[in-house]
Amino acid sequence: MCGFLIMTIELLGGKILSPYFGGSVYVWGSIITVFMLALSIGYLLGGKLSLNNPNTRKYGILFILAALTVLPLTIGHDAVSDWVFSYIEDPRYGSLVASTILFLIPTIILGMIAPYSVRLLVTSTHSSGQTAGFLYFISTLGSAAGTLATSFYLVLWFEIDHILYGSAMLLFAIGLVAFFFPQPSLNLTDNSK
C-alpha cells in the first residue's frame, strides 16, 4: 500500500501544481526530484529507526504520522501553490519550492516505512537479502499499480482532495491496525552457522 500511495500522491502533485506552473518537464522534474530526495532521506531515517527495538506499534505510528502529514495537502495545496506563485512565477523554481513545501515531509515519512518493513520481516541474517528483495518487489508492484490506478481511473472518478483524503484515511487505518494489534518484537539472529 505504501508504494501505491507514494505514486498516487506523486501523480496528484502534477495536477496540484499544473494550474499554477503548468505541466512542463520543469514541473515534473521538480516533483520527481523532491520525491526522490525525500524517499532517500526516509530510507535512511527508517533504517536507523529500525535498529532500536523494532515493533509493529512503532510501525503503526509511522503510518499514522504519514496520514497526518498527507491530510494538510487536502486543505492547503491551493493556498501554498498560490502563495509560492505570487513570489516565484518561474515554473522551474516555483514548482520546486511548492513541491518541497507540499511533499517533502509526507514523502520522508512514507519512505521510512520500507526499511522498517524489511526489519520487521527479517528473521535471520541468512535470509535478509531474500526478504528485502521480496519486499521491494511487492512495493514496486504496488507503485506500478498506484501509477496506473491513479492516472487511468482515480483522477477520472474522484476529485483530487477526495483521493488525498482517501489516501490519508487508508494510511491511518493501516497504522491503527499495526498499533492496536501488535506482533511480538523480533530479534534478528544469525542462522548462517
Q: What is the pLDDT of residues 22-54, one digit of tens each?
A: 888 999 999 999 999 999 999 999 989 988 888
CB proximity list for 60: less than 8 A, separation 6 or greater:
174, 175, 176, 177, 178, 179, 180, 182
- Other C-beta atoms within 10 Å of 156: how many? 8
The reported pLDDT for the residue numbered 98 is 92
Distance CA 161, CA 158 (A): 8
The reported pLDDT for the residue numbered 97 is 92
The reported pLDDT for the residue numbered 184 is 61
| Residue ranges of the chain whose pLDDT lies below 70 | 184-193
User: What does the pLDDT look like over 175-186, one tens digit per residue?
Assistant: 999 888 877 655
CB 172 within 8 A of CB 67: yes
Q: Cell 527508517 appears where? A: 46
User: What does the pLDDT look like over 65-75, one tens digit per residue?
Assistant: 999 999 988 88
